[in-house]
Amino acid sequence: MKKLLMIAGSSLLLSLILSCAVGPRLIDSSFIYPSIRTEGIAVLPIGGDVADIATRKDIGLSFEKILAKKYPNIKIVGVEYTGGKLLEGNLMNDYKEVIAAYQMTEQIKSDELERIKTAIGFRYLVIPIVQNYHKEEVKDGNKYTITLESQVWDYSAKKIVFRIMTEGEDSPSYLGIFDKQTLTAAAEKAIKVAVKAFPKPE
């Protein structure tokens, strides 16, 4: 039993090691807890190359849940609210264009952003973007890896005030307890690393 517990502990440690920040990150000096507490945060639909709509939604819901755990006293709205507002205002294509334009030029399309902010009503817009993901068949199941870029756009300043790239992995444990691996579980690990870098509650 002791040996099994040691193996399980090693598996958990490996999982934590494989969930990490990669590359440089940006945290603007204006992005501070008092501002977040006053303005609240809106999590927008997942960007990037994830074709499965259900998985997109699950990753977005996970981001909202993990943010809410860090900031229990702050108003946070998630993808069901923001996605609904974008659809209601016929702004989903505008949203996709804003993300695509920024990825190509690192410039924010202010006209589209204005319409998005007006529809959603929040200053801070969290935009999670899946940069890449991979599924690999391994012994006892599948291994999922994902690279997630998490951005916070400050509508008032018309700029990105927070950006971090994180990786997460979900694979079978040595004990075979977790027999169903998912991309969402891998994404949750990447999200937790990203949210940990957000300003600390006071």
pLDDT recorded at residue 54: 84
Q: Is 172 inside any structural domain?
A: yes
Q: Output helix, strand, coil percentages for the chain, rounded to the nearest 5.
A: 45, 25, 30
Q: What per-residue confidence (pLDDT) applies to 25?
A: 81
The pLDDT tens digits along the chain (202 residues) read 444 334 334 444 444 445 687 766 888 999 999 999 999 999 999 888 766 788 888 999 999 999 999 999 999 999 999 999 999 999 999 898 888 888 788 777 778 888 998 999 999 999 999 989 988 888 777 889 999 999 999 988 888 999 999 999 988 765 545 446 688 999 999 999 999 999 999 8
Question: What span, in angstroms and rounded, lies between the C-alpha atoms of 117 and 37?
Answer: 18
Has residue 13 been placed in a domain? Answer: no
- Asked whether residue 1 is domain-assigned, the answer is no
Q: What is the CATH number of the domain that holds 164?
A: 3.40.50.10610
Show the domain range for 160.
21-196
Residue 9 lies in a domain: no
pLDDT value of residue 168 = 94
3 domain residue, yes or no: no
| Number of folded domains that form the chain | 1
In the prediction, which pLDDT does 19 show? 63
Q: Is 80 exposed, middle or buried (0-12, 13-18, 19+ CB in 10 A)?
A: middle
CA–CA distances in Å: residue 114 to residues 44, 65, 94, 120, 129: 15, 26, 10, 10, 20
Could you list the beta-strand ranges (E) of 12-114: 20-21, 26-27, 41-43, 47-48, 76-77
**Quick check: is 84 in a domain?**
yes
